[in-house]
Structure 1
Amino acid sequence: MDALPTDPEPTDTRPTDAAPTDAVLDRAAGAVIGSAAGDALGAGYEFGPPLPDDARVGMVGGGTFAWAPGEWTDDTSMAVAVLRALAAGEPLDDDRTLDGVVDAWCGWAVDAKDVGNQTRAVLGGLAPRTAAAARRSARAFHDTYRRSGGNGSLMRTGPVALAYLGDGREGDLARAARAVSDLTHAEDDAGDACVLWSLAVRHAIRTGVADVRVGLPWLPATRRDPWAARIADAEVSRPRDFDRNGWVVEALQAAWSAITHGTTLVDVLERAVRGGRDTDTVAAIAGALVGARDGASAVPAAWRDVLHGWPGLDAAALTDLAARAVRR
């Protein structure tokens, strides 16, 4: 494994150590609400083919798992466990916090409609329900199948940035994003993608600008150029071009493509869904970053009104948890 980078210069210097402004709180909530909205929007189209550019996309539910309109899937449910820990002021660099996250995931997975194959394999029958045990299980999965680069850790990484908005916290965030990814996904690509996306979410909350390249200096040196090329490829492609979007690399590329070519939050999420296949996850990933850029206020009220999911939360509850995570 490549050595992790030493801390480079900060990528933005806008002060946020003071009390967060209303705009920052709106964008922080947007990282959570935008992701949940993308997740629920894509739920009814999951596993389907790409759609024409003019195809209507709606918050209709349905799909393979008979989702209710506005019901989020495993993407948001797993993110909620992280968000609740941050809202309680629990640090992600402490295995006691990660123990609680893993325990919550294991409890959720028992009756969940949909759990990703890799995540189910890692968490199924886990004993004890601890971070250390989860990492061992994730490594065993990787060693058995010689890969573990599914998109299941990237889909849930949006809230991680909320605890690291202060000045000079990029390095702490990069380490936290990778640590949370490693609980279920041992492959470097998965950890890299979570670092890139989490740092982009942080930057967007602080500045209102979506830029996935701000995270490149926080990757090991030998992996920066390959990721830069992947990002560039996404910018000249469409979400539908990434037909292996269950792989974390193409999931990130599809999401970034939707953001690059889209305009409003709604346009971005509809583009992500029209890309087909793992629609809820790509739209959830895109939603975290475009929501951090545009804020929760950019999510249509009609969508916010019907958003709901495990463990009995709605958009208002997610907004409250996001605000608490930022303030703590």
Structure 2
Amino acid sequence: MPLTSAQLDRAVGAVIASAAGDALGSQYEFGPSLPDTTIPEFGVGHFGHGVGEWTDDTSMAIPILQVLADGHTLEDPATLAEIVQSWRRWSLSAMDVGIQTRGILSSIPSDASAEHATTAARLAHERLGRSGGNGSLMRTGPVALGYLNRTPAELADAAGRVAQLTHWEDDNVVACALWCLAIRHAILTGELDMHAALRSLSEPRSGESKRPDPRPLSERSESKRPNALPPETATRWAQLIDEALAPGIHPRAFSDENGWVVRAFQGALAAVAGATSLVDAVQRAVRGGNDTDTVAAIAGALAGAVYGAAAVPANWRAQLHGWPGIDADELERLARRAVA
């Protein structure tokens, strides 16, 4: 799909701004909300990450970006297995791995398939009765880059498929699909429109029944994406989006539970929607408090898709680095290859 220079810049921005938000929020993780007068700065992370070093949020996104850059698709079980195995190797020495994610990755073999991972995720959900952590949403941004020339339904499928490698709960599937669809829309148009993402997720695919499937997503073996969201689900997410888009709302309003994928989604959306620039969006996310690196990484992916890589300050970009030993220039190279 030929992209304009502005569209390509926005695609690269979705990756680099996410990494920047992650690294910027690292030292404030689990801390209180901050006043608007505070200017967040790069520093040593809560778990010991260096200045400008991204955390698990970006580290888990990179294997997804790498397979897309290599020309693979997320429909291929071998590609998903490659992602899972990369995550597992990384988790063995990572400074920080989400509790839910670590539990899944530690329970599967070193040569795990996608089925190993999704089965472990499903069993964990059934055992605990929930699996709605924000660990799937934090890494989902690169998925959109491989699906700019595909249908929204195909992108939503891919987002749900990758989410459920570790997070089985339906909220994860919907949140990741919506975020990826919003990133895709922003890259192609330069606009932020989460309600447009919800509409595209709520409409049945061509040739399929317009009657919604009433089953939870986790019970539909044929697809991770809903064939038209059930009306009650669509209504719920419309209300959640409206809460995050309310005039004057700040990510602080969602900080108490932003380890939950829904509140992380709302906090990140509030950060971007209420911002005047990419820098403002990322800083607002960090000022929200609590899971600052994750919410800022999520917000950064969408803000980067709206404002572009050119809006990332040069001094931010120069400091970015992390697993697996790469920097912002390599992130840009991978992003360009993924959209190519």
2:155 to 173, 176, 192: 173
Q: How large is the RMSD of aligned CA atoms in angstroms?
A: 1.0
1:226 to 236, 239, 249: 236
Aligned twin of 1:29: 12
Aligned twin of 1:200: 182
Q: Report the Cα offset of residue 67 of structure 1.
A: 1.7
Q: TM-score, normalized by length of structure 1?
A: 0.92
Q: Which stretch of structure 1 is more off in the superposition, 213-222 or 144-153? A: 213-222
Query: Does residue 156 of the first structure (1) align with residue 167 of the second (2)?
Result: no
Q: TM-score, normalized by length of structure 2?
A: 0.89
1:159 match: secondary structure: helix
Which portions of structure 1, spanning 4 or more consecutive aligned residues, are displaced by more than 2 angstroms? none
- Distance in 2, Cα, partners of 1:63 & 1:46: 8
CA contact (8 A) 2:100 2:131 kept: yes
* 1:115-141 Cα shifts (integer Å, max 9, x gaps): 000000111131241110000100111
Q: Report the Cα offset of residue 323 of structure 1.
A: 0.3
- Distance in 2, Cα, partners of 1:110 & 1:245: 26
Q: Report the Cα offset of residue 280 of structure 1.
A: 0.3
Aligned twin of 2:314: 301
* 1:205-234 Cα shifts (integer Å, max 9, x gaps): 000111112221314133111001001111
Q: One-letter code of the match for 2:243? A: D
Aligned twin of 1:66: 48
- Distance in 2, Cα, partners of 1:80 & 1:63: 19
Aligned twin of 1:256: 269
Q: One-letter code of the match for 2:135? A: G
Aligned twin of 1:239: 251
CA contact (8 A) 1:126 1:134 kept: yes
* 1:41-81 Cα shifts (integer Å, max 9, x gaps): 00010010101111121122x23212211100000000001
2:168 match: secondary structure: coil
Aligned length: 308
Q: One-letter code of the match for 2:330? A: A
- Distance in 1, Cα, partners of 2:112 & 2:12: 29
Aligned twin of 1:12: none
Q: One-letter code of the match for 1:211? A: D
CA contact (8 A) 1:196 1:214 kept: no
Identity of aligned residues (%): 55
CA contact (8 A) 1:83 1:159 kept: yes
Query: Does residue 278 of the first structure (1) align with residue 288 of the second (2)?
Result: no
Aligned twin of 1:3: none
- Distance in 2, Cα, partners of 1:178 & 1:213: 18
